[in-house]
Amino acid sequence: MNIWLIHPAEPVPISENTRLFRYGKVCRLLAKRGHVATQWASTFDHFSKQQRTRGDCLFEVETGYRVQLVYGSPYKKHVGFARMRSQREVAQNFTRCAEKSGPPDVIVVSLPTLELATTVLAYAEARKIPVVVDIRDLWPDVFFTAFPSWAQSLVRPLFRKYEQQATDICRRASVLTAVSDTYLSWGLEKARRSRYLHEKAVYLAYQKPVITEYDRLRILEELDSKGILEKRVLRCCFFGMLGKSAGLRSIACLATHLARQGHGDIEFVLCGTGPRENDLLKMIQDVPNIKYLGWQDSTEIACLMERSDIGLAIYQEGVLQSIPNKPVEYLAGGLPVLTTLRGELETLLNTYNCGKVFQPNAIESMGEWLIHCKQNHVSMNDLSQQASQLYADQFDATKVYEDFIDEIECIPQRFQAVVAA
């Protein structure tokens, strides 16, 4: 089968150190099964903020795995008019590139973006190609969270056009999937239908990096030099995008609170990069039990988790509830999770007894739980084992994405049966 997976902002394997996300991992697994998988993305790298190529470009990564880059102009900020322009350009340029490639058997397209998903559906409908719409974020609903609650009803009419666009996309999809059951239910509500038997959420799964013993020892030595030693009382780690949704102030306040309470031996190690990096540096400059390492690659993160005890998935109040990458990676490292996300993640953490959920500003309650963890090492071992079990059961990339591919392989036959009827 010839399968396209389309997301403008996902990393593509241009260099050896590229950390693949959802579609890159699925493409690799599809190729191993003998399919031809093409990952579509923008020429502009959303994370490095650099152009990958000067124009549209198709290249083969390995046998059965190709990458098609579609031109999108540069932008500096994650949110802004320049990014919106770039997204429109990718959508406009998609059809030109698609016509050169020849039609696939199945298309999987991410929502967002609205423009690209709409264009892909139009292309597919004209050629009777089934389309899986993969709901990765709740556009445009997510934009309302940027406004205070009292203002959301006032600004909602401004987004009515985009709400209708999202509704049309969900209704026209051959199949809906999503990164969580909550998101899938949102899509089904937009589509005004019940769930098909084969429709289910496909979590943002994680594949543990393969690390040579040489690299592992080298990275651990680097951690030693930074004061992140194997011997510790309790260490919490945070890594990810330092963006608007991250609860950076809550983390800084939590570390400060514990230090003032005489528990400065509960350490915090933060990693990442993003638009709020300078804000973070100001917040933590006088906090003695926080270390900031900047951006770290997947092998460095894995070694850091080896020397940590708890993963922090703390977000700003009002962030839409889902299961993002961050807590999944913590679970893969055997770390119980302290989070502010409710919904499905809270249910899973409670079911497996491997984490705790708090309100974003419940600093004292968070501190009490961390002190309890510090004083109960046997309990920490149990939490760690349960975290590993939750990862193995629900988030192991090979298992999750192999199941997803099983469903993709069945779609053309189901689609033809519906068309024939």
Write the single-letter amino acid at 272.
G
Report the relative pairing of strands 337-339 and 131-135 from DSSP bridges.
unpaired
Percent of all residues in the chain with a pLDDT value above 70, rounded to a whole number: 96
- At 321, the pLDDT band (50, 70, 90 cuts) reads low
Interval 124-138 mean pLDDT: 95
Residue 281: predicted pLDDT: 94
Distance CA 301, CA 310 (A): 13
Contact 298, 19 (CB under 8 A): yes
Interval 147-168 mean pLDDT: 80
Q: What is the DSSP letter of 157?
A: G
Residue 15: predicted pLDDT: 73
Q: Tens digits of per-residue pLDDT, 381-414? A: 999 999 999 999 999 998 999 999 999 999 988 8
Asked if pLDDT for residue 144 goes beyond 70, the answer is no
Domains delineated in the chain: 2-205+397-420 (3.40.50.2000), 213-395 (3.40.50.2000)
Describe the chain by its helix, strand, coil percentages, rounded to 5: 50, 20, 35
Q: What is the DSSP letter of 246?
A: B
Beta pairing partners, 273: 241
Residue 162: predicted pLDDT: 85
Over the chain, what is the mean pLDDT?
Answer: 91
Residue 82: predicted pLDDT: 87
Q: Which of 12-26, 201-215, 353-367, 398-412 has the lowest mean pLDDT?
A: 12-26
Distance CA 74, CA 85 (A): 9
Residue 158: predicted pLDDT: 76
User: What is the full DSSP assignment across 166-212?
Assistant: HHHHHHH-SEEEESSHHHHHHHHHHHTSPPPTT-------B-PPP--
Beta pairing partners, 62: 65
Residue 78: predicted pLDDT: 73
Residue 140: predicted pLDDT: 79
User: Residue 93: which residues within 8 A CB-CB, separation 6 or more?
Assistant: 56, 70, 71, 72
User: What is the full DSSP assignment across 6-37?
Assistant: E-TTS---SSTT----HHHHHHHHHHHTT-EE
Q: Tens digits of per-residue pLDDT, 359-374? A: 999 999 999 999 999 9
- Tokens 């403008």 belong to residue: 8
Distance CA 267, CA 286 (A): 14
Asked if pLDDT for residue 322 goes beyond 80, the answer is no
Q: Tens digits of per-residue pLDDT, 261-272? A: 999 999 999 999
More confident residue, 233 or 147: 233
User: 371: closest CA among 252, 292, 286, 261?
Assistant: 261
Q: What is the DSSP letter of 124?
A: H
Asked if pLDDT for residue 8 goes beyond 90, the answer is yes
Residue 33: predicted pLDDT: 96
Distance CA 364, CA 207 (A): 34
Residue 145: predicted pLDDT: 65
Interval 249-278 mean pLDDT: 95
Asked if pLDDT for residue 358 goes beyond 90, the answer is yes
Contact 120, 15 (CB under 8 A): no
Residue 421: predicted pLDDT: 57
Distance CA 166, CA 177 (A): 14
- Tokens 């949110």 belong to residue: 79
- At 18, the pLDDT band (50, 70, 90 cuts) reads confident
Residue 154: predicted pLDDT: 75
pTM: 0.83
Q: How buried is residue 132: exposed, middle or buried, by Cβ count under 10 Å (0-12/13-18/19+)?
A: buried
- At 420, the pLDDT band (50, 70, 90 cuts) reads low
Side-chain-facing half-sphere of 103: CA atoms under 13 Å? 14
Q: Which helix (H) or strand (E) holds 386?
A: helix 377-390
Q: Which helix (H) or strand (E) holds 67?
A: strand 65-70
Percent of all residues in the chain with a pLDDT value above 90, rounded to a whole number: 74
- At 320, the pLDDT band (50, 70, 90 cuts) reads low
